[in-house]
């Protein structure tokens, strides 16, 4: 069976998902699109040469009986209502982060999904599909570095637009570390603190940049994350786990080594789309494959979306108070087993 997708939001990432499902992945096809900007939806259909119906809004797209699954790639505050409508209609959902902009709405989605009776939702936390993070997780699971004690992580972007605000360092940027790090060490978070260092002059006046976060887990692991979104030099993601008998570090993206002018140099990627391009392919392929084989998506769950929302709410509070803020999760329902699976299978090749 081919999984027939409707795409809600045909902006930057919505288009890349249309492209990958149409041109690189197997088992899926785009049959419907919508965007609040109808011209954007129409131009996506033309750009990728797909036979997809253009709908005026998310509700009419979800109601199309030819749509088995929806990809939600509109702007964050609109995600939750589309997810809830899709669950109500019994459609599978791949939702870009955030699942919802508040912990309450995320919980409403969790409850709606449990009421429906089986998992329908996968959240677009693609770092779990990155080869480097997967290798680190395997090493930790195999006890190669002993019990993890600390993590040092870095999330740097070259620059941000004028719409990027101080809280977005948590809700838009840190959110990727929030998801991948609890998965990496299979632990839940306990508290978060935000420290504002000396501001860079390279950011706009309204923005505190860089920011440093200290997160503690229930098992006592201490995590530091530097978020520096106007670092100027590139898109730079780092992660090192310090264990009792060794350390393990996220590998650098392999780029050619240049010897020139009495120096050895290696380019740093500039664009997030390039850094995790394989992971984006793998997450959607896994979504398609697990639904076709098992009847439900196996990737990051609504519960993971809820964890991210509770943690980012606490992170934004911590930015305001300067204090250690508690991250208080409800008890995990049995419906959501600990840690979601990520596929180790490679892509099936192009169609």
Task: Name the phi and psi angles at 20, rounded to 5.
Answer: -70, -40
Q: Is residue 300 a contact residue for ligand NAP (CB under 6 A)?
A: no
Q: Is residue 58 a contact residue for ligand NAP (CB under 6 A)?
A: yes
Buried b (16+ CB within 10 A) or exposed e, 9-43: bbbebbbbbbbbbbebbebbbbbbbbbbeeebbee
Smallest distance, Å, CB 36 to ligand NAP?
4
For ligand NAP, the closer of residues 78 and 212 by Cβ is 78
Q: Is residue 297 a contact residue for ligand NAP (CB under 6 A)?
A: no
Q: Is residue 39 a contact residue for ligand NAP (CB under 6 A)?
A: no
Q: Footprint of ligand NAP on residues 83-112 (CB under 6 A)?
A: 96-97
DSSP 239-297: EEEEESS-EEEPPPPP---EEETTEEE------HHHHTHHHHHHHHHHHHHHHHHHSS-
DSSP 186-222: T--EEEEEEE--SPPTTS-TT---SEEEEEEETT--E
- Applying CB under 6 A, among 29, 54, 64, 78 the residue interacting with ligand NAP is 78
Q: How far apart are CA 12 and CA 229, in angstroms?
A: 19
- Applying CB under 6 A, among 25, 32, 73, 309 the residue interacting with ligand NAP is 73
For ligand NAP, the closer of residues 172 and 226 by Cβ is 172
- The span of 2-10, 101-109, 299-307, 322-330 binding ligand NAP (CB under 6 A) equals 2-10
- The span of 12-20, 138-146, 303-311, 335-343 binding ligand NAP (CB under 6 A) equals 12-20
Position closest to ligand NAP via CB = 11
Q: Is residue 298 a contact residue for ligand NAP (CB under 6 A)?
A: no
Smallest distance, Å, CB 340 to ligand NAP?
15
- Applying CB under 6 A, among 4, 13, 42, 187 the residue interacting with ligand NAP is 13
Tokens, residue 264 = 């050895």
Q: How far apart are CA 83 and CA 89, in angstroms?
A: 10
């Amino acid at each position: 069976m081919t999984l027939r997708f409707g795409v809600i939001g045909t902006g930057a990432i919505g288009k890349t998902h249309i492209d990958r499902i149409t041109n690189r992945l197997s088992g899926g096809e785009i049959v419907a699109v919508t965007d609040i900007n109808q011209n954007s939806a129409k131009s996506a259909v033309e750009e990728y040469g797909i036979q997809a119906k253009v709908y005026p809004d998310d509700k009419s797209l979800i109601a199309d009986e030819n749509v088995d699954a929806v990809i939600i790639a509109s702007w964050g505050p609109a995600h939750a209502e589309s997810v809830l409508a899709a669950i109500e209609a019994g459609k599978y959902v791949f939702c870009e982060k955030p699942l919802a902009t508040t912990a309450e709405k995320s919980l409403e989605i969790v409850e709606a999904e449990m009421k429906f009776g089986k998992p329908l939702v996968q959240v677009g936390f693609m770092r779990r599909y990155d080869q480097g993070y997967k290798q680190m997780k395997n090493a930790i699971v195999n006890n190669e570095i002993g019990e993890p004690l600390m993590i040092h992580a870095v999330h740097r972007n070259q620059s941000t637009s004028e719409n990027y605000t101080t809280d977005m360092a948590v809700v838009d940027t840190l959110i990727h570390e929030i998801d991948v790090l609890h998965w990496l060490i299979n632990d839940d978070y306990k508290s978060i603190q935000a420290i504002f260092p000396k501001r860079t002059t390279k950011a706009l006046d309204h923005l505190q940049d860089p920011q440093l976060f200290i997160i503690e887990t229930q098992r006592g692991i201490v995590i530091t994350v530097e978020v520096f979104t106007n670092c100027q030099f590139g898109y730079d993601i780092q992660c090192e786990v310090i264990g009792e008998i060794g350390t393990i570090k996220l590998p650098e993206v392999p780029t050619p080594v240049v010897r020139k002018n009495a120096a050895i140099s290696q380019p740093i990627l500039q664009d997030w789309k390039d850094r995790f391009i394989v992971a984006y392919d793998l997450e959607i392929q896994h979504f398609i494959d697990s639904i076709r084989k098992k009847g439900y998506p196996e990737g990051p769950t609504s519960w993971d979306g809820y964890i991210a929302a509770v943690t980012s709410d606490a992170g934004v509070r911590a930015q305001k108070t300067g204090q250690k803020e508690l991250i208080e999760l409800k008890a995990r329902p049995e419906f959501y087993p600990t840690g979601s699976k990520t596929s180790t299978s490679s892509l099936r090749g192009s169609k």
